[in-house]
Amino acid sequence: MLISSNYLLLPAGGTPIVNIGVVEQSPTTSSAGYIQYKVENGSVFDEIAKKAFISLHSEPYIEPPLLTFDQKRLKWLQRYMRKQLKAEKKGKKVVSSPKEALQQVNQEVSLGRLDDSRPAAHCDGQIFKQRIRMDGCLSKVVHNRFCHGTCSSYFIPRLRPRKLKLDAMFQSCSVCRPTEWDTVEVKLDCPRKNPKELKRKVIKVKKCKCIALNGNNLESEEDVR
């Protein structure tokens, strides 16, 4: 049974509760045997709430314009860079001198250690099909490897260079290159030539690794081997 909120229901023989500040009307008896007391909204609290609502003043509010795609991207990049700098300051120790930095780099190069914030160096050999060709001969396909990966490099500048140019107190650069390989001979059938078979030497890569460069020419290091 749903009852309206402005009615007080009491048993037929009960005593009605007098509400202070409320104007009462004559009670009526319902069919269920309850006396209904209907009250008007004239209490002190209703007047206070009404005056408080009337005293409210609205202020105009202008919605800001929506950000463009470039502005959103710039805002995201700025927030990302702040997080990166904060993370680096927490987990990274700043060296006190170039000499200490040189010792730390030499130790990392010799032991192969890298900071957790940087990606680890890796160098892999990916297998691919290499086609061997010669004029007047039928081509052949051999399986070879090419090296690819990410290797570390270091550069510590001098504090007082002799000349006005960027000199390095220490520098180390490593590349992903073959460390083990074989020289194999591939026989090609040449029906239009005499002799009918020709041999061609091919370097077959077996393993790749990050290796520090001592010079600018890579072929000089291969010749030494």
Bigger pLDDT: 33 or 11? 33
Dihedral sign, CA of 163, 164, 170, 175?
negative
Structurally, the chain folds into a number of domains equal to 2
Enter the pTM of the model: 0.39
Question: pLDDT, tens digit, for every residue of 29-59?
Answer: 555 555 555 555 556 777 888 888 888 877 7
Whether residue 177 contacts residue 208, with contact meaning beta carbons closer than 8 Å, is answered with: yes
CATH of the domain at 127: 2.10.90.10
13: in domain: yes
Q: Residues 93-101: what's their mean pLDDT? A: 56
Q: What are 134-182's pLDDT values in tens digits? A: 888 999 988 888 888 888 887 777 776 666 566 667 777 888 999 999 9
Compute the mean pLDDT over every residue in the chain, rounded to the nearest whole number: 71
Task: Please tell me the predicted confidence (pLDDT) of residue 26.
Answer: 54
Last residue of a domain, one of 38, 54, 70: 54
Q: Can you tell me the distance from the alpha carbon of 210 to that of 174, in angstroms, rounded to the nearest whole number?
A: 6
Q: State both tokens at 204.
A: 């077959």
pLDDT digits (tens, 9 = 90+) for 72-88: 888 888 887 887 777 76
Let me know if residue 128 belongs to a domain: yes
Range of the domain at 15: 7-54
What is residue 215's predicted lDDT score, i.e. its pLDDT? Answer: 52
CB count in 10 Å sphere of residue 208? 22
Let me know if residue 114 belongs to a domain: no
Q: What angle do CA 4, 6, 7 make, to 5 degrees?
A: 75
What is residue 204's predicted lDDT score, i.e. its pLDDT? 92
Residue 62 located in a structural domain: no
Does residue 208 share a domain with residue 131? yes
pLDDT at 135: 87
Question: Does 59 reside within a domain?
Answer: no
- The residues, ordered by sequence, that sit 6+ positions from 129 with a Cβ below 8 Å of its Cβ are 141, 142, 143, 144
Tokens found for residue 21: 């500040």
Whether 27 contacts 16, CB under 8 Å = yes
User: Do the domain assignments include residue 115?
Assistant: no
